Structure 1
Amino acid sequence: MKSKIQDSKKITMQIMAKRLLLLTAMFLFSFSIQAQDKKAKDLLDQVTAKVKSYNNIAIDFKYSLNNYKENINQESKGNVTMKGNQYVLNFMGVTKIFDGKKTYTIVPEDEEITISTVNEKDDNAITPSKMLTFFNSGYKYSMDILQNVKGRKIQYIKLVPTNAKDQRKEVLLGIDIQTKHIYNLIEVGKKGTKTTLTVNSFKTNQPLSKNQFTFAESKYPSYYVNKLD
Protein backbone atom coordinates (compact mmCIF):
# COMPACT_ATOMS: atom_id res chain seq x y z
CA MET A 1 0.00 0.00 0.00
CA LYS A 2 2.84 2.40 0.90
CA SER A 3 4.47 1.71 -2.47
CA LYS A 4 1.26 2.56 -4.32
CA ILE A 5 0.89 5.81 -2.39
CA GLN A 6 4.50 6.76 -3.13
CA ASP A 7 4.08 5.91 -6.84
CA SER A 8 0.90 8.01 -6.97
CA LYS A 9 2.72 10.90 -5.29
CA LYS A 10 5.59 10.72 -7.79
CA ILE A 11 3.18 10.66 -10.75
CA THR A 12 1.29 13.65 -9.36
CA MET A 13 4.62 15.42 -8.84
CA GLN A 14 5.55 14.82 -12.47
CA ILE A 15 2.19 16.14 -13.70
CA MET A 16 2.53 19.15 -11.43
CA ALA A 17 6.05 19.81 -12.72
CA LYS A 18 4.76 19.84 -16.30
CA ARG A 19 2.00 22.31 -15.46
CA LEU A 20 4.35 24.48 -13.45
CA LEU A 21 6.92 24.53 -16.21
CA LEU A 22 4.22 25.53 -18.67
CA LEU A 23 3.47 28.42 -16.36
CA THR A 24 7.19 29.15 -16.00
CA ALA A 25 7.60 29.15 -19.76
CA MET A 26 4.90 31.75 -20.07
CA PHE A 27 6.74 33.82 -17.46
CA LEU A 28 10.24 33.63 -18.82
CA PHE A 29 10.01 33.63 -22.59
CA SER A 30 8.35 35.78 -25.26
CA PHE A 31 5.24 34.59 -27.06
CA SER A 32 5.66 34.03 -30.81
CA ILE A 33 2.27 32.61 -31.70
CA GLN A 34 0.70 34.08 -34.80
CA ALA A 35 -2.01 36.51 -33.81
CA GLN A 36 -5.40 34.84 -33.56
CA ASP A 37 -6.79 37.41 -31.16
CA LYS A 38 -4.98 40.76 -31.05
CA LYS A 39 -6.20 41.69 -27.56
CA ALA A 40 -5.05 38.34 -26.17
CA LYS A 41 -1.68 38.67 -27.93
CA ASP A 42 -1.20 42.22 -26.62
CA LEU A 43 -1.97 41.13 -23.05
CA LEU A 44 0.41 38.16 -23.26
CA ASP A 45 3.12 40.47 -24.57
CA GLN A 46 2.60 42.82 -21.63
CA VAL A 47 2.88 39.92 -19.18
CA THR A 48 6.08 38.75 -20.85
CA ALA A 49 7.67 42.20 -20.93
CA LYS A 50 6.85 42.78 -17.26
CA VAL A 51 8.19 39.48 -16.01
CA LYS A 52 11.32 39.41 -18.19
CA SER A 53 12.45 42.54 -16.34
CA TYR A 54 12.78 40.55 -13.09
CA ASN A 55 16.05 38.94 -12.06
CA ASN A 56 14.24 36.13 -10.25
CA ILE A 57 10.75 35.09 -9.17
CA ALA A 58 9.53 33.30 -6.03
CA ILE A 59 5.99 31.88 -6.00
CA ASP A 60 3.83 30.22 -3.36
CA PHE A 61 0.98 28.34 -5.01
CA LYS A 62 -2.02 26.11 -4.46
CA TYR A 63 -2.65 23.13 -6.70
CA SER A 64 -6.02 21.39 -6.94
CA LEU A 65 -7.34 18.45 -8.93
CA ASN A 66 -11.08 17.90 -9.23
CA ASN A 67 -13.32 15.40 -11.00
CA TYR A 68 -16.87 15.45 -9.72
CA LYS A 69 -17.91 12.33 -11.68
CA GLU A 70 -15.10 10.31 -10.12
CA ASN A 71 -15.54 12.00 -6.72
CA ILE A 72 -11.92 13.23 -6.74
CA ASN A 73 -11.02 16.40 -4.88
CA GLN A 74 -7.36 16.91 -4.00
CA GLU A 75 -5.49 20.02 -2.89
CA SER A 76 -1.81 20.65 -2.21
CA LYS A 77 0.42 23.65 -1.64
CA GLY A 78 3.94 24.30 -2.80
CA ASN A 79 6.51 26.89 -3.76
CA VAL A 80 9.01 27.49 -6.51
CA THR A 81 11.96 29.85 -6.99
CA MET A 82 13.05 30.56 -10.56
CA LYS A 83 15.94 32.36 -12.22
CA GLY A 84 16.31 31.99 -15.97
CA ASN A 85 15.68 28.32 -16.68
CA GLN A 86 16.90 27.24 -13.24
CA TYR A 87 14.42 26.46 -10.46
CA VAL A 88 13.82 24.85 -7.08
CA LEU A 89 10.36 23.34 -6.67
CA ASN A 90 8.93 22.06 -3.38
CA PHE A 91 5.69 20.12 -3.70
CA MET A 92 4.02 17.19 -1.90
CA GLY A 93 7.07 16.63 0.29
CA VAL A 94 9.38 16.35 -2.71
CA THR A 95 12.07 18.82 -3.80
CA LYS A 96 13.06 19.15 -7.46
CA ILE A 97 16.15 21.17 -8.41
CA PHE A 98 17.11 22.07 -11.96
CA ASP A 99 20.54 23.71 -12.26
CA GLY A 100 20.31 24.31 -16.01
CA LYS A 101 21.75 20.93 -16.98
CA LYS A 102 20.62 18.28 -14.51
CA THR A 103 17.46 17.64 -12.54
CA TYR A 104 17.71 16.42 -8.93
CA THR A 105 14.54 14.93 -7.42
CA ILE A 106 14.82 14.55 -3.65
CA VAL A 107 12.27 12.34 -1.85
CA PRO A 108 12.82 12.43 1.97
CA GLU A 109 10.10 9.85 2.61
CA ASP A 110 12.05 7.25 0.62
CA GLU A 111 15.49 8.74 1.38
CA GLU A 112 16.11 8.66 -2.34
CA ILE A 113 17.58 11.08 -4.86
CA THR A 114 17.17 10.72 -8.62
CA ILE A 115 19.59 12.55 -10.90
CA SER A 116 18.98 12.94 -14.62
CA THR A 117 20.52 14.99 -17.41
CA VAL A 118 18.25 17.11 -19.58
CA ASN A 119 18.82 16.58 -23.29
CA GLU A 120 17.87 19.79 -25.08
CA LYS A 121 17.44 17.83 -28.34
CA ASP A 122 14.95 15.44 -26.78
CA ASP A 123 11.44 16.42 -27.83
CA ASN A 124 10.09 14.80 -24.66
CA ALA A 125 12.41 16.72 -22.33
CA ILE A 126 10.42 18.78 -19.84
CA THR A 127 12.08 22.18 -19.96
CA PRO A 128 10.57 25.67 -20.08
CA SER A 129 11.72 26.21 -23.67
CA LYS A 130 10.32 22.88 -24.83
CA MET A 131 7.05 23.51 -23.05
CA LEU A 132 6.86 26.91 -24.72
CA THR A 133 7.49 25.40 -28.13
CA PHE A 134 4.73 22.88 -27.52
CA PHE A 135 2.41 25.66 -26.41
CA ASN A 136 3.11 27.78 -29.47
CA SER A 137 2.45 25.02 -31.95
CA GLY A 138 -0.42 23.28 -30.21
CA TYR A 139 -3.06 25.87 -29.28
CA LYS A 140 -5.50 28.44 -30.58
CA TYR A 141 -6.17 31.27 -28.18
CA SER A 142 -8.67 34.04 -27.54
CA MET A 143 -9.88 36.44 -24.85
CA ASP A 144 -12.30 34.89 -22.37
CA ILE A 145 -14.20 36.25 -19.34
CA LEU A 146 -13.12 39.06 -17.01
CA GLN A 147 -13.65 38.24 -13.33
CA ASN A 148 -13.49 40.25 -10.13
CA VAL A 149 -11.54 38.18 -7.59
CA LYS A 150 -11.40 39.86 -4.18
CA GLY A 151 -11.11 43.27 -5.77
CA ARG A 152 -8.66 42.15 -8.45
CA LYS A 153 -9.65 42.17 -12.11
CA ILE A 154 -8.59 38.86 -13.63
CA GLN A 155 -8.72 38.55 -17.41
CA TYR A 156 -8.79 35.00 -18.75
CA ILE A 157 -7.31 33.85 -22.04
CA LYS A 158 -8.64 30.58 -23.46
CA LEU A 159 -6.22 28.16 -25.10
CA VAL A 160 -7.71 25.29 -27.11
CA PRO A 161 -5.47 22.37 -28.17
CA THR A 162 -5.39 21.87 -31.95
CA ASN A 163 -4.55 18.16 -31.65
CA ALA A 164 -7.79 16.16 -31.53
CA LYS A 165 -6.02 13.44 -29.50
CA ASP A 166 -5.13 15.88 -26.70
CA GLN A 167 -7.01 14.88 -23.54
CA ARG A 168 -7.45 18.51 -22.54
CA LYS A 169 -10.53 20.35 -23.70
CA GLU A 170 -9.08 23.78 -22.95
CA VAL A 171 -6.61 25.72 -20.84
CA LEU A 172 -7.56 29.00 -19.14
CA LEU A 173 -4.87 31.47 -18.18
CA GLY A 174 -5.90 34.14 -15.64
CA ILE A 175 -3.96 37.42 -15.70
CA ASP A 176 -4.17 40.26 -13.17
CA ILE A 177 -4.98 43.31 -15.32
CA GLN A 178 -3.27 45.78 -12.96
CA THR A 179 0.00 43.96 -12.22
CA LYS A 180 0.20 41.95 -15.47
CA HIS A 181 1.11 38.91 -13.36
CA ILE A 182 -0.34 35.47 -13.90
CA TYR A 183 -2.95 34.68 -11.26
CA ASN A 184 -3.86 31.10 -12.16
CA LEU A 185 -3.72 28.36 -14.77
CA ILE A 186 -6.68 26.03 -15.26
CA GLU A 187 -6.69 22.86 -17.35
CA VAL A 188 -10.05 21.31 -18.23
CA GLY A 189 -9.94 17.69 -19.41
CA LYS A 190 -12.32 16.08 -21.87
CA LYS A 191 -13.31 13.52 -19.22
CA GLY A 192 -14.24 16.14 -16.63
CA THR A 193 -10.97 16.48 -14.73
CA LYS A 194 -9.99 20.04 -13.85
CA THR A 195 -6.58 20.97 -12.47
CA THR A 196 -5.89 24.46 -11.17
CA LEU A 197 -2.65 26.17 -10.24
CA THR A 198 -3.29 29.38 -8.27
CA VAL A 199 -0.56 31.86 -7.34
CA ASN A 200 -0.94 32.85 -3.68
CA SER A 201 2.24 34.89 -3.41
CA PHE A 202 4.37 36.43 -6.16
CA LYS A 203 7.73 37.94 -5.15
CA THR A 204 10.46 39.26 -7.40
CA ASN A 205 14.16 40.14 -7.23
CA GLN A 206 14.70 38.31 -3.96
CA PRO A 207 18.18 37.96 -2.39
CA LEU A 208 19.25 34.44 -3.38
CA SER A 209 22.20 32.38 -2.25
CA LYS A 210 24.87 31.79 -4.89
CA ASN A 211 24.18 28.09 -4.32
CA GLN A 212 20.40 28.46 -4.59
CA PHE A 213 20.18 26.10 -7.57
CA THR A 214 23.15 23.88 -6.68
CA PHE A 215 22.62 20.32 -5.46
CA ALA A 216 24.87 19.31 -2.55
CA GLU A 217 24.98 15.53 -2.15
CA SER A 218 26.82 15.92 1.17
CA LYS A 219 23.55 17.11 2.75
CA TYR A 220 22.03 13.67 2.22
CA PRO A 221 24.64 11.15 3.48
CA SER A 222 22.15 8.32 4.07
CA TYR A 223 20.14 8.75 0.87
CA TYR A 224 20.22 6.31 -2.02
CA VAL A 225 21.34 8.13 -5.17
CA ASN A 226 19.84 6.90 -8.43
CA LYS A 227 21.71 8.23 -11.45
CA LEU A 228 19.68 7.68 -14.60
CA ASP A 229 22.54 8.53 -16.96
Structure 2
Amino acid sequence: MRKTAFKMQKIIRILSLFILTIGLSVHAQDSQKAKKMLDEVSVKIKSYNNVVIDFKYSMSNPKKNLNQESKGNVAQQGNKYVLNFMGVTRIFDGKKVYNIVPEDEEITISTYDDKKDDGLTPSKMFSFFNTGYKYAIDIVQNVKGRKIQYIKLTPIDVKDDVKDVLIGIDSQTKHIYTLIQTAKDGTKTTFTINSFKTNQPLSKNHFTFTESKYPNYYINKLD
Protein backbone atom coordinates (compact mmCIF):
# COMPACT_ATOMS: atom_id res chain seq x y z
CA MET A 1 0.00 0.00 0.00
CA ARG A 2 2.82 2.42 0.84
CA LYS A 3 4.36 2.00 -2.61
CA THR A 4 0.99 2.52 -4.30
CA ALA A 5 0.23 5.56 -2.15
CA PHE A 6 3.63 7.14 -2.85
CA LYS A 7 3.22 6.65 -6.59
CA MET A 8 -0.29 8.08 -6.50
CA GLN A 9 0.87 11.04 -4.41
CA LYS A 10 3.52 11.93 -6.98
CA ILE A 11 1.18 11.54 -9.95
CA ILE A 12 -1.69 13.38 -8.26
CA ARG A 13 0.65 16.30 -7.56
CA ILE A 14 1.28 16.59 -11.31
CA LEU A 15 -2.38 16.04 -12.10
CA SER A 16 -3.43 18.69 -9.61
CA LEU A 17 -1.01 21.06 -11.31
CA PHE A 18 -2.77 20.24 -14.58
CA ILE A 19 -6.37 20.59 -13.44
CA LEU A 20 -5.96 23.25 -10.79
CA THR A 21 -3.84 25.63 -12.84
CA ILE A 22 -7.18 27.15 -13.78
CA GLY A 23 -7.20 29.40 -10.73
CA LEU A 24 -3.67 30.74 -10.69
CA SER A 25 -2.68 34.40 -11.08
CA VAL A 26 0.47 35.68 -12.76
CA HIS A 27 3.14 37.91 -11.22
CA ALA A 28 3.82 41.41 -12.52
CA GLN A 29 7.08 40.51 -14.21
CA ASP A 30 5.42 37.93 -16.46
CA SER A 31 4.39 38.72 -20.01
CA GLN A 32 1.11 40.59 -20.33
CA LYS A 33 -0.17 38.11 -22.90
CA ALA A 34 0.44 35.18 -20.55
CA LYS A 35 -1.28 37.05 -17.73
CA LYS A 36 -4.28 37.90 -19.88
CA MET A 37 -4.73 34.31 -21.07
CA LEU A 38 -4.43 32.76 -17.62
CA ASP A 39 -6.78 35.34 -16.13
CA GLU A 40 -9.35 34.55 -18.83
CA VAL A 41 -9.06 30.83 -18.06
CA SER A 42 -9.47 31.51 -14.34
CA VAL A 43 -12.58 33.67 -14.82
CA LYS A 44 -14.16 31.12 -17.16
CA ILE A 45 -13.61 28.16 -14.85
CA LYS A 46 -14.75 30.00 -11.71
CA SER A 47 -18.07 30.74 -13.42
CA TYR A 48 -18.95 27.01 -13.38
CA ASN A 49 -20.61 25.25 -10.46
CA ASN A 50 -18.55 22.13 -11.15
CA VAL A 51 -16.36 20.50 -13.79
CA VAL A 52 -16.08 16.85 -14.81
CA ILE A 53 -12.99 15.91 -16.81
CA ASP A 54 -11.87 12.76 -18.62
CA PHE A 55 -8.16 12.79 -19.36
CA LYS A 56 -5.32 10.80 -20.86
CA TYR A 57 -2.00 10.39 -19.07
CA SER A 58 1.35 9.34 -20.46
CA MET A 59 4.88 9.17 -19.09
CA SER A 60 7.93 8.42 -21.23
CA ASN A 61 11.71 8.39 -21.08
CA PRO A 62 13.52 6.50 -23.90
CA LYS A 63 16.79 6.40 -21.93
CA LYS A 64 15.06 4.56 -19.09
CA ASN A 65 12.92 2.43 -21.39
CA LEU A 66 9.89 4.03 -19.74
CA ASN A 67 6.56 4.23 -21.53
CA GLN A 68 3.29 4.36 -19.59
CA GLU A 69 -0.22 5.31 -20.64
CA SER A 70 -3.45 5.48 -18.69
CA LYS A 71 -6.81 7.23 -18.52
CA GLY A 72 -8.69 8.80 -15.66
CA ASN A 73 -11.41 11.19 -14.64
CA VAL A 74 -11.98 13.81 -12.01
CA ALA A 75 -15.02 15.72 -10.74
CA GLN A 76 -14.31 19.00 -8.97
CA GLN A 77 -16.58 21.43 -7.16
CA GLY A 78 -14.97 24.22 -5.19
CA ASN A 79 -12.10 22.62 -3.27
CA LYS A 80 -13.76 19.20 -3.22
CA TYR A 81 -12.94 16.51 -5.76
CA VAL A 82 -13.22 12.82 -6.66
CA LEU A 83 -10.35 11.43 -8.72
CA ASN A 84 -10.30 7.99 -10.37
CA PHE A 85 -6.88 7.14 -11.73
CA MET A 86 -4.72 4.03 -12.17
CA GLY A 87 -7.12 1.87 -10.21
CA VAL A 88 -7.26 4.19 -7.22
CA THR A 89 -10.06 6.52 -6.12
CA ARG A 90 -9.14 9.64 -4.15
CA ILE A 91 -11.86 11.69 -2.47
CA PHE A 92 -11.38 15.06 -0.82
CA ASP A 93 -14.53 16.28 0.97
CA GLY A 94 -13.05 19.57 2.11
CA LYS A 95 -11.75 18.18 5.40
CA LYS A 96 -10.48 14.64 4.92
CA VAL A 97 -8.65 12.78 2.16
CA TYR A 98 -9.72 9.21 1.34
CA ASN A 99 -7.48 6.96 -0.78
CA ILE A 100 -9.38 3.85 -1.89
CA VAL A 101 -7.33 1.00 -3.37
CA PRO A 102 -9.54 -1.89 -4.57
CA GLU A 103 -6.51 -4.03 -5.50
CA ASP A 104 -5.43 -4.11 -1.85
CA GLU A 105 -8.96 -3.71 -0.43
CA GLU A 106 -7.58 -0.92 1.69
CA ILE A 107 -8.66 2.64 2.45
CA THR A 108 -6.45 5.29 3.97
CA ILE A 109 -8.12 8.24 5.68
CA SER A 110 -6.29 11.37 6.78
CA THR A 111 -7.24 14.86 7.89
CA TYR A 112 -6.18 17.53 5.42
CA ASP A 113 -3.31 19.68 6.66
CA ASP A 114 -2.17 22.48 4.36
CA LYS A 115 1.28 22.42 6.00
CA LYS A 116 1.97 18.90 4.73
CA ASP A 117 3.43 18.24 1.27
CA ASP A 118 0.79 15.59 0.57
CA GLY A 119 -2.09 17.94 1.35
CA LEU A 120 -3.39 18.45 -2.18
CA THR A 121 -6.25 20.90 -2.62
CA PRO A 122 -6.81 23.75 -5.05
CA SER A 123 -5.67 26.42 -2.58
CA LYS A 124 -2.44 24.54 -1.82
CA MET A 125 -1.64 23.98 -5.46
CA PHE A 126 -2.36 27.61 -6.36
CA SER A 127 0.03 28.78 -3.69
CA PHE A 128 2.75 26.32 -4.70
CA PHE A 129 2.36 27.14 -8.36
CA ASN A 130 2.40 30.90 -8.00
CA THR A 131 5.57 31.03 -5.95
CA GLY A 132 7.54 28.35 -7.79
CA TYR A 133 7.58 29.32 -11.46
CA LYS A 134 8.35 32.01 -14.01
CA TYR A 135 5.95 32.36 -16.96
CA ALA A 136 6.41 33.06 -20.67
CA ILE A 137 4.39 32.75 -23.88
CA ASP A 138 5.46 29.77 -26.00
CA ILE A 139 4.36 28.23 -29.31
CA VAL A 140 0.90 28.03 -30.89
CA GLN A 141 -0.33 24.72 -32.34
CA ASN A 142 -3.32 23.81 -34.48
CA VAL A 143 -4.89 20.65 -33.03
CA LYS A 144 -7.80 19.37 -35.10
CA GLY A 145 -8.83 22.90 -35.94
CA ARG A 146 -8.33 24.18 -32.40
CA LYS A 147 -5.79 26.92 -31.72
CA ILE A 148 -3.75 25.86 -28.71
CA GLN A 149 -1.56 28.54 -27.13
CA TYR A 150 1.20 27.21 -24.87
CA ILE A 151 2.54 29.00 -21.82
CA LYS A 152 5.93 27.88 -20.56
CA LEU A 153 6.70 27.65 -16.85
CA THR A 154 10.25 27.41 -15.57
CA PRO A 155 11.01 26.59 -11.90
CA ILE A 156 12.66 29.44 -10.01
CA ASP A 157 14.57 26.96 -7.84
CA VAL A 158 17.52 25.70 -9.91
CA LYS A 159 17.59 22.55 -7.76
CA ASP A 160 14.06 21.60 -8.84
CA ASP A 161 13.88 18.25 -10.65
CA VAL A 162 11.52 19.80 -13.19
CA LYS A 163 13.07 21.40 -16.27
CA ASP A 164 9.89 23.11 -17.50
CA VAL A 165 6.12 22.80 -17.83
CA LEU A 166 4.05 23.65 -20.89
CA ILE A 167 0.37 24.48 -20.39
CA GLY A 168 -1.74 24.39 -23.56
CA ILE A 169 -4.83 26.63 -23.55
CA ASP A 170 -7.64 26.44 -26.10
CA SER A 171 -7.82 30.02 -27.36
CA GLN A 172 -11.54 29.78 -28.13
CA THR A 173 -12.96 28.02 -25.09
CA LYS A 174 -10.38 29.37 -22.59
CA HIS A 175 -10.02 25.87 -21.14
CA ILE A 176 -6.83 23.99 -20.31
CA TYR A 177 -6.22 21.44 -23.09
CA THR A 178 -2.95 19.83 -22.08
CA LEU A 179 -0.01 19.95 -19.68
CA ILE A 180 3.46 18.65 -20.51
CA GLN A 181 6.00 18.42 -17.72
CA THR A 182 9.62 17.66 -18.61
CA ALA A 183 12.03 16.59 -15.88
CA LYS A 184 15.76 17.22 -15.98
CA ASP A 185 16.37 13.49 -16.42
CA GLY A 186 14.35 13.56 -19.65
CA THR A 187 11.14 12.06 -18.28
CA LYS A 188 8.12 13.63 -19.95
CA THR A 189 4.69 13.51 -18.30
CA THR A 190 1.67 14.57 -20.33
CA PHE A 191 -1.97 15.08 -19.38
CA THR A 192 -4.47 15.76 -22.16
CA ILE A 193 -8.16 16.50 -21.66
CA ASN A 194 -10.42 14.27 -23.74
CA SER A 195 -13.71 15.54 -22.34
CA PHE A 196 -14.50 18.70 -20.39
CA LYS A 197 -18.04 18.97 -18.99
CA THR A 198 -19.41 21.73 -16.78
CA ASN A 199 -22.34 22.22 -14.40
CA GLN A 200 -23.17 18.53 -14.24
CA PRO A 201 -26.10 17.21 -12.12
CA LEU A 202 -23.92 15.73 -9.38
CA SER A 203 -25.65 14.31 -6.32
CA LYS A 204 -25.28 16.09 -2.98
CA ASN A 205 -23.28 13.09 -1.73
CA HIS A 206 -20.94 12.92 -4.72
CA PHE A 207 -17.95 14.13 -2.68
CA THR A 208 -18.88 12.15 0.45
CA PHE A 209 -17.10 8.97 1.52
CA THR A 210 -19.56 6.21 2.48
CA GLU A 211 -17.87 3.51 4.53
CA SER A 212 -20.73 1.02 4.13
CA LYS A 213 -19.85 0.67 0.42
CA TYR A 214 -16.61 -1.09 1.40
CA PRO A 215 -17.60 -3.78 3.97
CA ASN A 216 -14.52 -5.99 3.48
CA TYR A 217 -11.89 -3.25 3.22
CA TYR A 218 -9.22 -2.57 5.80
CA ILE A 219 -9.57 1.06 6.86
CA ASN A 220 -6.39 2.76 7.98
CA LYS A 221 -7.09 6.01 9.84
CA LEU A 222 -3.87 7.98 10.02
CA ASP A 223 -5.13 10.48 12.61
TM bracket (short chain) = over 0.9
2:222 to 199, 211, 228: 228
Q: Which amino acid aligns with 1:207?
A: P
Report the alpha carbon displacement of residue 124 of structure 1 after superposing the two structures with TM.
5.5
Report the alpha carbon displacement of residue 32 of structure 1 after superposing the two structures with TM.
4.6
1:19 is aligned to 14
Q: Secondary structure at the match of 2:63?
A: coil
Report the alpha carbon displacement of residue 128 of structure 1 after superposing the two structures with TM.
1.7
Alignment deviations for residues 97-133 of structure 1 (CA, whole Å, 9 cap, x no partner): 0000000010111110000011134465322211111
2:43 is aligned to 49
Q: In 2 relative to 1, CA 77–187 (structure 1 residues): closer, same or farther, beyond 3 Å?
A: same
| 1:58 equivalent in alignment to 2:52 | yes
Q: State how 1:37-186 maps to structure 2 within 5 Å.
A: 37-122=31-116, 125-186=119-180
1:208 to 198, 202, 211: 202
Give the total of aligned pairs.
223
Gaps of 5+ in 2: none
| 1:194 equivalent in alignment to 2:188 | yes
User: After TM superposition, what 4+ stretches of structure 1 lie above 6 angstroms from structure 2?
Assistant: none
Gaps of 5+ in 1: 1-5
Report the alpha carbon displacement of residue 8 of structure 1 after superposing the two structures with TM.
5.1
Give the distance between the partners of 1:47 and 1:152, measured in 2 at CA: 16
Q: Secondary structure at the match of 1:24?
A: helix
Report the alpha carbon displacement of residue 47 of structure 1 after superposing the two structures with TM.
0.4
Report if the CA contact (8 A) 2:26-2:35 is conserved. no
Q: In 2 relative to 1, CA 198–151 (structure 1 residues): closer, same or farther, beyond 3 Å?
A: same
Q: Secondary structure at the match of 1:211?
A: coil
Give the distance between the partners of 2:118 and 2:108, measured in 1 at CA: 18
Q: Secondary structure at the match of 2:34?
A: helix
Q: Which amino acid aligns with 1:117?
A: T
Normalised to the residue count of structure 1, the TM-score between the two structures is 0.93
Q: Secondary structure at the match of 2:64?
A: coil
Q: Secondary structure at the match of 1:155?
A: strand
Q: Secondary structure at the match of 1:12?
A: helix
CA RMSD of aligned residues (A): 1.4
Report the alpha carbon displacement of residue 182 of structure 1 after superposing the two structures with TM.
0.2
Q: Which amino acid aligns with 1:136?
A: N
Report if the CA contact (8 A) 1:9-1:92 is conserved. no
Give the distance between the partners of 2:60 and 2:24, measured in 1 at CA: 31
Give the distance between the partners of 1:124 and 1:225, measured in 2 at CA: 19
Q: Secondary structure at the match of 2:207?
A: coil
Q: In 2 relative to 1, CA 192–121 (structure 1 residues): closer, same or farther, beyond 3 Å?
A: closer
Report the alpha carbon displacement of residue 7 of structure 1 after superposing the two structures with TM.
5.5
